[in-house]
Amino acid sequence: MMKLEIAALSAKVMGNKNLLAQSRANIEQNRMLVHSNYVAAMAGNHQLASQNLQDIYNSRSTIFELMTLEDQAYESYVEALRAASELDMLRHSVSLNRKNLELNQKMIALNQQLMSLNEEIMQMNQEMLEFNEENLDSNRDLMSGALHPLLIDEETVNQLNSENKKSIAELDVQADVNRQTVEDLLSKSKENRAIALKNSTQISDRKKHLYKNMEDIAQMRGEIGAPITFTDIFLDASSYD
């Protein structure tokens, strides 16, 4: 009877082990997808957006330089406008610096969590090593005659059977708790993957807009210095109606 109970418990524990391996694989896949999104967003889109911004303000500086200053009043107005433009860019840069500082702080905290996680894994490996060594010693004891019939009595057998039944009951409860936990992890990993894939799509779409932004900047730079007619002024003003 106990043999069947142990077999059923073993099947449950091994089933949980397999689900845990699947959960770990899903988590690793999600981690790599999240990291890929980070690289695409930070090293790709963020740098492209920053370069576009710099090109826009370089073009604006050129526009200011090419302006014909009709009189002192107009010159003062252009200088004030130039200063306001530079301050606007600096304000934006200060805000971006603050957000990047906060991101760096979060990444440091994340690295600390990963180091703590590695330490837990190292400790788990040490426990496994010690357990293996203990059981290796047990094997040696068995080989040396520790189970000789002359060393066994009925009281020892009954006590061992009682402990085994108690262990089966305890382990069965723990295995059920583990099963629920790993199923929750699998469900959460599925949700996280959907979010990561959605982010990946958004990053890709934003990259397309940033490239279009770059093309518009290049076209604008080619038009800098072209004469402006009254028709151009009135057409531009009508776009605000």
Tens-digit pLDDT profile for residues 83-122: 999 999 999 999 999 999 999 999 999 999 999 999 999 9
**Residue 68 above 80 pLDDT?**
no
User: Could you give the 3-state DSSP secondary structure of residue 146?
Assistant: coil
Stretch 13-29: mean pLDDT: 95
Please give the model's pTM, rounded to 2 decimal places.
0.79
Stretch 225-231: mean pLDDT: 53
Among candidates 214, 168, 138, which has minimal Cα distance to 8? 168
Domain ranges for the chain: 2-127+162-224
pLDDT of 234 reads 42
Q: Please compute Rg for the chain using Cα positions.
A: 35
pLDDT of 149 reads 67
